[in-house]
Amino acid sequence: MFQTNQTTCALFSGSWVRDDTYPLYKYSDCPLIDAEFNCQMYGRPDSDYLKYRWQPHDCVLPRFNGLVFLSKMRGKHLMFVGDSLGRNQWESLICMISASAPKMQTRMSRGDPLSTFKFIDYGLSVCFYRAPYLVDIDMVGGSRILKLEDIHTHGNAWGNADVLLFNTGHWWSHKGSLQGGKYYKDIDRLVALEKGLRTWANWVDNNVDTTKTRVFFQSISPTHYDPSEWSTRATMAATKNCYGKTAPMTGTANPGTYPDQKRVVDEVIRKMHVPTYLLDITMLSELRKDGHPSIYSGDLSPAQRAKPDGSADCSHWWLPGLPDTWNELFYAALFH
């Protein structure tokens, strides 16, 4: 029996198990996958990485059913809001749903910041709204200035959604100084993250109608640029990133992954008035060092692929792949 109650089932604590019924769809059946996520199309030679399923320790994760998703979400508006990891997950969900009803009438419109995929027969819109920091950004003198106390420009686009799934994280950890509006120059990144998330939380608390809309927040997605995370024998001569990795790590991920960011997210969500479900995917994703596009990205030139140390993408995830598991967890939290 499956229950999402965390005291009964710790969804995000478990291990990766081999399952030859995976993946849930073929990349060739889902043409909307961006080139940067489509490592099979761009020459990844192995395929065992597709054959793993997330197994929580004390329950069975329900298998995703696209027709059930469509029927339960008929006439609804679902929106992913965040950075390119959110786009990664948005494309995954569309592929997963489409695999269950391949002949269904659909319509796609891509834009910036808003892209929308419509399942016309069910009146379901699945959208991605690009807002890497969630808060608003101004351009001043050619520089991007974060408006840490302002989210209204973005927030005006979110109000009609029935389900909102937010993510942020990677852009806050980029190297270099952050300009946080006229009040904060070269602000500490963790301080900026907390201020930005509190602005987001206030927007949710003041604008979300809980009788109509459900809110989810996805924890930070890990990168795999440091081999010492998965091998105590890592040396300077070894590959410096995820290139060539073909299997998940075994056991449990390092609980110290992104501890400061996780603490900030936990504290902000705990103080919110609107119930916000934390999809805590960081640790289970940390185990998938094999899951990144690496050099098999359509965004890389042949010269770049020949130098994996400097060009491998160990931030995003292949499709089909890990974001499908994020969506299975989302499906479980949404309907079970």
- What is the DSSP track for 176-230? S-B--STT-SSB-HHHHHHHHHHHHHHHHHHH--TTT-EEEEEPPPP----GGGT
Q: What is the mean pLDDT of residues 52-62?
A: 92
Q: What is the mean pLDDT of residues 100-119?
A: 96
d(CA 154, CA 132): 11
Which residue did the predictor score with more confidence, 145 or 113? Answer: 113
The continuous run of DSSP H or E covering 77 comes out as strand 77-82
Residue-averaged pLDDT of the chain: 90
* Residue 268, domain extent: 63-285+323-335
Q: What is the pLDDT of residues 265-309, one digit of tens each?
A: 999 999 999 999 999 999 999 999 999 999 999 889 999 999 998
Instruction: Look at residue 335 and tell me whether its pLDDT is greater than 90.
Output: yes
Kindly indicate the confidence band of residue 226, based on its pLDDT and cuts at 50, 70 and 90: confident
Kindly indicate the confidence band of residue 182, based on its pLDDT and cuts at 50, 70 and 90: low
Is residue 309, in this structure, part of any structural domain at all? no
Is residue 297, in this structure, part of any structural domain at all? no
d(CA 96, CA 115): 18
Instruction: Look at residue 21 and tell me whether its pLDDT is greater than 60.
Output: yes
The confidence score (pLDDT) of residue 3 equals 43
Instruction: Look at residue 251 and tell me whether its pLDDT is greater than 80.
Output: no
d(CA 180, CA 160): 28
Q: What is the radius of gyration, based on Cα positions, of the chain? A: 20
The continuous run of DSSP H or E covering 283 comes out as helix 282-286
Please give the positions annotated as active site: 84, 313, 316
Q: Please provide residue 238's backbone torsions phi and psi, each rounded to the nearest 5 degrees.
A: -75, 160
Kindly indicate the confidence band of residue 153, based on its pLDDT and cuts at 50, 70 and 90: very high
Q: What is the pTM of this model?
A: 0.93
Is residue 5, in this structure, part of any structural domain at all? no
Q: What is the mean pLDDT of residues 241-248?
A: 93
Q: What is the pLDDT of residues 27-50, one digit of tens each?
A: 999 999 999 999 999 999 999 999
Kindly indicate the confidence band of residue 162, based on its pLDDT and cuts at 50, 70 and 90: very high
The confidence score (pLDDT) of residue 145 equals 85
Is residue 17, in this structure, part of any structural domain at all? no
The confidence score (pLDDT) of residue 184 equals 56
The confidence score (pLDDT) of residue 146 equals 87
The confidence score (pLDDT) of residue 229 equals 74
Kindly indicate the confidence band of residue 228, based on its pLDDT and cuts at 50, 70 and 90: confident
Is residue 87, in this structure, part of any structural domain at all? yes
The confidence score (pLDDT) of residue 144 equals 78
Kindly indicate the confidence band of residue 2, based on its pLDDT and cuts at 50, 70 and 90: very low
The continuous run of DSSP H or E covering 117 comes out as strand 114-119
Residue 137 sits in a domain whose CATH number is 3.40.50
Percent of the chain with pLDDT over 90: 74
Is residue 149, in this structure, part of any structural domain at all? yes
Is residue 11, in this structure, part of any structural domain at all? no
The confidence score (pLDDT) of residue 237 equals 46
| Number of compact structural domains in the chain | 1
Residue 98's nearest CA partner among 108, 113, 88 is: 108
Break the chain down into helix, strand, coil percent, rounded to 5. 30, 20, 50
Instruction: Look at residue 195 and tell me whether its pLDDT is greater than 70.
Output: yes
Is residue 57, in this structure, part of any structural domain at all? no
Distance of CA 201 to the CA centre of its chain: 19
